[in-house]
């Protein structure tokens, strides 16, 4: 083999090693980027879960307040009706004893 051929082969080996090193660097960069994407997606998922929990809690609190106010209003109506019936019964009793 001539010297030029040996130099050519040595150059080809150097290029192959260089390409292999570049490919290795590229693979590491891709793996690093994939890890960053996984971490970001996990963070977004956790944020979405927290937001959903907060939304559910706020919805339940709103429903509880509404039910509580409806119950309180209904209770007040019943108290007024009871008082009205009590007064009505008392006045009938008073009227019947006077007669």
Q: Three-state SS string across the chain, please?
A: CCHHHHHHHHHHHHHHHHHHHHHHHHHHHHHHHHHHHHHHHHHHHHHHHHHHHHHHHHHHHHHHHHHHHHHHHHHHHHHHHHHHHHHHHHHHHHHHHHC
Whether residue 1 is predicted with pLDDT greater than 70 in this model: the reply is no
pLDDT at site 65: 97
pLDDT tens, residue by residue, 46-69: 999 999 999 999 999 999 999 999
- Asked if residue 94 belongs to a domain, the reply is no
* Verdict on whether the full-model pTM lies above 0.85: no
pLDDT value of position 55: 96
Domain count for the chain: 1
pLDDT of residue 79 exceeding 70, the answer is yes
User: Is 29 inside any structural domain?
Assistant: yes
Return the pLDDT at 12: 83
Give the dihedral of Cα atoms 14, 19, 25, 27; nearest 10 deg.
Answer: -140
Domain extent, residue 3, equals: 1-66
Q: Is residue 23 part of a domain?
A: yes
Please check whether residue 6 lies inside any domain of the structure.
Answer: yes
Q: What is the tens place of the pLDDT at every residue in 2-22?
A: 666 777 788 888 888 888 888
Burial code of 11-24, b = ≥16 C-beta within 10 A, e = fewer? eeeeeeeeeeeeee
**pLDDT at res. 13:** 84
């Amino acid at each position: 083999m001539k010297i030029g051929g040996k130099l050519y082969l040595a150059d080809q080996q150097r290029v192959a090693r260089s390409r292999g090193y570049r490919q290795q660097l590229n693979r590491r960069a891709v793996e690093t980027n994939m890890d960053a994407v996984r971490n970001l997606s996990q963070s977004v998922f956790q944020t979405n879960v927290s937001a959903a929990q907060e939304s559910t809690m706020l919805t339940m609190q709103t429903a509880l307040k509404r039910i509580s106010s409806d119950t309180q209003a209904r209770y007040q109506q019943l108290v007024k009706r009871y008082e009205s019936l009590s007064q009505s019964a008392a006045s009938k009793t008073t009227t019947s004893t006077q007669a």
